Structure formats: structure tokens, C-alpha cells
Amino acid sequence: MDYLPHIDRYTQGMDYRKCGNSGIKLPLISLGFWHNFGGVDSYENGLNIVKYAFDHGITHFDLANNYGPPFGSAEENFGKMMKDHFRTYRDEMIITTKAGHHMWNGPYVDVGSLKNLMASIDHSLKRMNLEYVDIFYSHRYDAETPLDETLQALVDIVKRGKALYVGLSKYPIDKLLYAFEFLKNAGTPCLVYQDRYNLIDRHIENYQLKAAAANGTGVVAFSPLAQGMLTDKYLHGIPEGSRAARPEGYLKSEMITSEIIDKVRCFRKIAQQREQSISQMALSWLIARPEVTSVIIGARTIEQLQENLRSISNYHFDTQELANIEQIIRE
């Protein structure tokens, strides 16, 4: 039977925030494909998660050429979903992909060159069964490639109709400011900046948040739960089957220090007073930031997605709650 999304998917509580100075709005919560949608994962489970997300107002789906594992398999799985279930609803979706990290062997990968970015967007479109993506990102700053070459490649990708907008991810502030100016002068302003941002890692508060706001660029936060550390999952060790226990994952057990666990326990006390889980409060804290356009979450189960979506119903914090959170962070 053909998939029929919920008719009330835009009236169930999801809100949408304008992305910088553009006419684009993104949902407060977006679905990321970094984990859980690759070739090592259950396709049916991933499909059910995407259906549930779309049924509940999530319209922004964040991918990259190397998401999996193996590399490319998340895009391939998403492409099958698009072809078999979502093609009718393409105009209701914001689909993004990226290039710049390691993808295949040889000397022309893992860089921001014109050759690599052009090859990457072509391969991504083929894997995802798409004629274009809404946003194409430079996935990271590459010091080995002249920045003008990387940025001009983004401009050319838009001019050739392979992407509607461009984005930047994980750029140092001096390169980010240069890129903003270059892209604006080229007539292809940077729609969105994406970086790691959560209660544990707040480095973009120093410069990138302010720079994006001044440039009229939206901000999308990834890793809002610090790959699961901002949950109750690791309070009593490393559970079997968790991200930190999986050899193919980026979260390693040694990253989960006693200092972080102590902070998470303190966050849990505040969350309980708010009648939220740790993860819900961590997401609500990000959503409450006016500089943040959208927060990308991952989900291994529909139950995880359901819990995370509840964060949008309570993202207002009083002065004392914010002060208590800041004290925990500084300790």
C-alpha cells in the first residue's frame, strides 16, 4: 500500500523557524542520518522512523555523502525511501547533503576541491534519486584547498541547478567570515551554518553564533545530545549495543569521563523538576536559543524519536533554571 502521511502533520505541535534572512523555514527539530540509517542498520526500521518523523511535522532531513556505514549507504537507503514512498511529497521536504570528509580512496577525496565537490554532489543525487538537493554543504574547512576554490564550487553547484542553497559546516571563525562575504558577493549567500552544539560543547558561542546572526545566516545544531552522553544511558556504565559500544561508531567509551557523568547527573535533577528527561531538557535548552534555527536529532527507534519530539512542548526556561544550568556547566 502507498504511504499516506497524516493529514494533520502540520498541526500536531511542530513549529517552524525562519532560516536567517531567507524565505526558508526549518522545523525546530530535524532528522539526521549520521547514524542508524546505513547499510549495517535495518532498512525497515529506518523507513518507519522517517515516516513517523514526517507524520509529525519534521520536514528537514540531513544527510552527507559519507553517512552510513558503509559510506554512501545512508543516502542509498534514503533514495529508496524517496523513490518508493516520499516522491509525491518532495516539495514538502528540505533535503540536505554534504561533502568534504573521507569518502573513497585516492588523492582527490577528503578535500574541498572543485573536482571532489562536483563529483560528490553528482554521486549523492544519484544515490538519493533526486534531481537536486535543497542545501549542499561544504562539510568542513579544508586547509589544503584554496578557500576561493571551495566556495566557487558551491556557487557553481547552485548555478547548475544541483542545489538550491549552500551551507557551511565546522569552519574556523576567520574562514567563516571570509566565506560569508565571498558567497554574498557571488549572489549565493550562505543559507545556514551547521556545527556541534550542546550543553557540554558550547564552543560556537564564542564567535560562530554571533557571526551567523550578523550575516543573516541560520544556525543548525548537530550532536545536541553529545552522541547520547546527555541522556541517562551512560550513567551506570556502557550498555551493550549502545553507540559507545559499537566499533563502527564515533563515540568511544573513553570519551565518557567521570566529570561528564557528574554533570549529567546534575542536569537530570533540573530536568526532573521540569518533568522532562535529560535528553528532552538538553534539546529544549537548544531550541530556546533564538540564534538556533533547528536542532538535528538522531533516532534508533520510534520511541526515541517520540521522546525527543516532546521537547518542543516545553522549551521555556525561567531565570533560575538557566542560572543553575550555567553553574553546572562552569563547575
Domain boundaries, the chain: 16-232+286-316
Return the pLDDT at 59: 98
Class of 16-232+286-316 per CATH?
alpha beta
pLDDT at position 248 = 57
Give the model's pLDDT for residue 38.
Answer: 97
Q: Which three cell numbers stand for residue 98?
A: 554534504
- 229 touches 256 (CB < 8 A): yes
What is the per-residue burial (b if ≥16 Cβ within 10 Å, else e) of 83-98? eebbeeeeeebbbbbb
**C-alpha closest to that of 219 among 139, 290, 322, 308:** 290
pLDDT tens, the chain, 331 aa long: 589 999 999 999 999 999 999 999 999 999 999 999 999 999 999 999 999 999 999 999 999 999 999 999 999 999 999 999 999 999 999 999 999 988 878 887 778 999 999 999 999 999 999 999 999 999 999 999 999 999 999 999 999 999 999 999 999 999 999 999 999 999 999 999 999 999 999 999 999 999 999 999 999 999 999 988 999 988 866 656 556 446 556 665 677 788 989 999 999 999 999 999 999 999 999 999 999 999 999 999 999 999 999 999 999 999 999 999 999 998 8
Distance from the Cα of residue 131 to its chain's centroid: 22
